[in-house]
Amino acid sequence: MPKCEPVLLARVGKPDSASLATYQRDGGYEAFKKALKMSPEEIINEVKTSGLRGRGGAGFPTGLKWTFLPKNHAGPIYLAINGDESEPGTFNNRILMEEDPHQILEGIMISCHAIKSNTSYIYLRVEYGKSYRVLKQAIEELYAAGLLGKNILGTGFDLDIYLHRGAAAYICGEETGLIESLEGKRAWPRIKPPFPAIEGLFRKPTIVNNIETMACVTHIINRGADWFKSMGVPPDPNNPRDAGSYGPKLYCLSGHINKPGCYEIPLGVTSRELIEEYGGGVPNGRKVKAVVPGGISMGFMSADELDIPLDFNGPGKAGCLGLGTAAVVVVDDATSMVDVLFNCARFFAHESCGQCTPCREGTAWMQKILWRIRSGQGELRDLDLLTEVAGSMGIIPGTTICGLSDGAGWPVKNAIQKFRPEFEEFIKSGKKVIRHAEELMAAAH
């Protein structure tokens, strides 16, 4: 993978990088001024041409999503920005919000002009205290400079941006759950259709986009769609559903790695390149056992699959749910996959909103079964039971409203498939220990 000059992270680490003055000195808000001279249709076409796909997890084409809004709607139209970032291992949005908030805000302002919205909400998880303070100050600076509010730069364009702090729930990363929370209700995802673009926030047309996606919009308008498409991976000609994976991407790297961090690389880097060239390899001379390609809901790649590209199409070839948030978590060969999978199941059991029975019951049962295995009391048949439960819940089999249960079941299914001998040996060893203890107790009596 060829190196590229950082764009999204270019200003991170600069003195006073979060202020309006330094951002404007670096050319900030020139893209917004350029966008104000363009028609909304021209902006949407530029974003569509760029091939930008949402960075929040689903990877849906951003410009195409914008076209789903009803034509000639009387309004209001809302833009909701997902800054919840609850996927384990993900921290790229936090870095952007804390270090370069105006890059995000400029993208939001351009996007609002494109979709003819005069109101945007940034939904922020409550634990992100610094992100909230930095964004709040940046928004206040924009109002003071006349870049937000009424009749911006004398163009007749009005825009207000509001910060909304959520109560820290994984389900709020689902766009309709986020909308319900924004409305002050329990964050239970809505049945679709209608989709948010038709009936979203306050039952009005709404677009939900991700923080990193908004940062990309800024640079697409500033540098052009051709620049954005010069990086990444073109569509697979053998896969008509592949829309390509273009542009720079922020990969989070954590787990058993010498240099954890957030790295900006064109889409298509492999796990091996990311681990060895950027992360400095695995500590203590250990080897890689498994890699999470984009948050634990995506499942696991084995050590034999490290050369599969981490683009929107690649992880699927390894039986994973997708690229997700590109939060790469490394698991070394000294770590038990039983422990890893139990932690995943415990997380999803806790975060299920409980609205759909298959998810509420399925996540709880997977946690209980893995706890039994981990306690040395598992049966070999438990592995088939886990696979059956995981395969019976989610949007893909058509049993739940949102995809949380798909994300809960996916790591269970492919971990057992790829590491079954380790799970079987763990169960057999546990049985031996229990049987030996029972024999000692019987002898003592």
**DSSP string across 286-307:** --EEEEESSSGGG--EEGGGTT
Quote the pLDDT of residue 439.
56
What integer is the mean pLDDT of 324-348?
Answer: 96
pLDDT digits (tens, 9 = 90+) for 70-95: 998 988 999 999 999 999 999 999 99
pLDDT digits (tens, 9 = 90+) for 364-387: 999 999 999 999 999 999 999 999
pLDDT digits (tens, 9 = 90+) for 95-117: 999 999 999 999 999 999 999 99
Which structural domains are found in the chain, ordered by start? 20-230 (3.40.50.11540), 245-332 (3.10.20.600), 337-441 (1.20.1440.230)
Quote the pLDDT of residue 75.
86
Q: What is the 3-state secondary structure (H, E, C) of the chain?
A: CCCCCCCCCCCCCCCCCCCHHHHHHCCCCHHHHHHHCCCHHHHHHHHHHHCCECCCCCCCEHHHHHCCCCCCCCCCCEEEEEECCCCCCCCHHHHHHHHCHHHHHHHHHHHHHHHCCCEEEEEEECCCHHHHHHHHHHHHHHHHCCCCEEEECCCCEEEEEEEEEECCCHHHHCHHHHHHHHCCCCCCCCCCCCCCCCCCHHHCCEEEEEHHHHHHHHHHHHHCHHHHHCCEECCCCCCCCCCCEECEEEEEEEECCCCCEEEEEECCCEHHHHHHHHCCCCHHHCCEEEEECCCHHHCCEEHHHCCCECCCCCHHHHCCCCCCCCEEEEEECCCCHHHHHHHHHHHHHHHCCCCCHHHHHHHHHHHHHHHHHHCCCCCCHHHHHHHHHHHCCCCCCCCCCCCHHHHHHHHHHHHHHHHHHHHHHHHHHHHHHHHHHHHHHHHHC
Q: How would residue 13 be classed by pLDDT, with cut points 50, 70 and 90?
A: very high
What integer is the mean pLDDT of 404-433?
Answer: 91
pLDDT digits (tens, 9 = 90+) for 246-301: 999 999 999 999 999 999 999 999 999 999 999 999 999 999 999 999 999 999 99
The pLDDT of residue 340 is above 60 = yes
Quote the pLDDT of residue 180.
96
Quote the pLDDT of residue 20.
98
Q: What is the mean pLDDT of the chain?
A: 94
pTM given for the model? 0.93
Quote the pLDDT of residue 431.
61
- Residue 402: phi and psi, rounded to 5, are -120, 180
**Percent of the chain topping pLDDT 70:** 96
Quote the pLDDT of residue 171.
94
